[in-house]
Amino acid sequence: MITVKNVETVEERHQAYNIREVVFEDEMNIRVVDDFDGKDEEENTHHVLAFFEDRAVGTARWRPLQDGTVKVERVAVLPEFRKRGIGEAIMRFAEDTLRMVKFRMVTVNAQDYIKEFYEKLGYEQVGPFFKEAGILHVRMTKNL
């Protein structure tokens, strides 16, 4: 069973960070300074955790941007738990939460290989591909 919740404790925040370390640093060789960019602790940054049964297996963060949109980022699912709907559950939870707090548009910087995942969730490409942390990305948006 998959459940997703807002991070509420320091322990939960560490679980989210540990997932990111496995996925971004260990698996994708992204530098720590590129993943942990100083925005995790900002007042308006929110984190979520996804659980498979009782184990934390996925995470994401979202934060409002100055243009009135909100950006979902650092979406990560542990490798052994992929293809089980966890990434989709994280995004649906984030979108439902964002609707409740009256955001109308969400944006993601999707890695090239995962673009189709976001398209299936209703996101559309905005602009050309670009490199971020040495990886090809594309900006995608969705009206909520």
Mean pLDDT for 3-21 is 97
**Which among 122, 57, 133, 136 is positioned nearest to 91, based on CA atoms?**
122
Parallel/antiparallel/unpaired status of strands 46-52 and 55-64: antiparallel
pLDDT score recorded for residue 76: 97
**pLDDT surpassing 90 at residue 15:** yes
- What range defines the domain where residue 35 resides? 2-143
pTM for this structure?
Answer: 0.94
Place of tokens 């052994």: 80
Check if the beta carbon of residue 24 is closer than 8 Å to that of residue 73.
no
What rounded mean pLDDT belongs to the chain? 95
pLDDT score recorded for residue 53: 92
List the CATH number of the domain containing 26. 3.40.630.30
Q: How many domains does the chain have?
A: 1
pLDDT score recorded for residue 66: 86
